[in-house]
Amino acid sequence: MSRNYGETWVYESLVGGIPGLNLSRTLAVAIQFLLFEVGVLALGWYYELWSAVLAGTVAVVVAAVGSVEMHRLGAINRRLPTPASHKRLLFGSSIEIVLGVLAFIALVTYMIAWDGALIERLFGADPPLPVVYLTLLILWDLTYRIGTSWWSAVVALWRAVHVDLPPEATARARRLDAENVAFSTLQLALVPFLLAEPVLLGAVVGHVLAVALVCSAAIILS
């Protein structure tokens, strides 16, 4: 499996590029989950914010499973007999991180300018700085996964239109596109915590529907 520069997600490059640190994918995801979850539990206990612990835990689980899926999507795409242009478009462009940044900025803009009371409703009138910091870190992790899912869907449609694959590889590509739909659908686990936030609720549900629509088109056209 090729793991050259330009043939990995930015996330994979960061995990695999730390000098002297050779972590397996499983260990890297486990460390990510433990660090985030210990942070959620410790801060929830210290600041007595138990009402936010469940939502934080679900967000951490979604982010961790998203990391697993990013590894899977990356590995399977690298094994597809597609031209180098497909790999460059999917990985080398780093568009997934651009989309993640845009989604994160939109979320922070909503929290500050659209509904400035959201942080207060979550953490009280004087939100502790460590709690806000960890919350934004976890939200960045989630929005980056959303950006990856978006870009994977768009490139899948490009691949379906422009690349002719042999039957066995086409079947694998279709399963990959279906897995990307499942990857995005996982984020619906956040819906119960967004029922009082119609804008965020619409954004998450709209994201899942958009990925499902584009990936379904890719499956049909493959």
Q: What is the pLDDT of residues 88-112, one digit of tens each?
A: 999 888 898 999 999 999 999 998 8
- Per-residue pLDDT tens digits for 107-139: 999 988 887 677 777 787 788 999 999 999 999
Helices (H), 110-197: 118-123, 129-162, 167-185
Tell me which residue range forms the domain holding 177: 10-221
Count of structural domains within the chain: 1
Predicted local distance difference test score (pLDDT) of residue 136: 94
Whole-number Å distance between alpha carbons of 49 and 124: 9
Q: Checking phi first, is residue 23 left (phi over 0); if not, alpha (psi -120 to 50) or beta?
A: beta
The DSSP call for residue 150 is H
Q: Is 3 within the bounds of a domain?
A: no
Q: Is 114 within the bounds of a domain?
A: yes
The separation between CA 132 and the C-alpha centre of its own chain, rounded to angstroms, equals 20
Whole-number Å distance between alpha carbons of 50 and 52: 5
Task: Count Cβ atoms below 10 Å from residue 77 Cβ, excluding itself.
Answer: 22
Q: Is 2 within the bounds of a domain?
A: no
pTM listed for this prediction: 0.88
Distances (CA, A) of 4 to 7, 8, 66, 73, 92: 6, 7, 22, 16, 10
Q: Is 34 within the bounds of a domain?
A: yes
Least confident of 80-84, 89-93, 150-154: 89-93
Q: Is 30 within the bounds of a domain?
A: yes
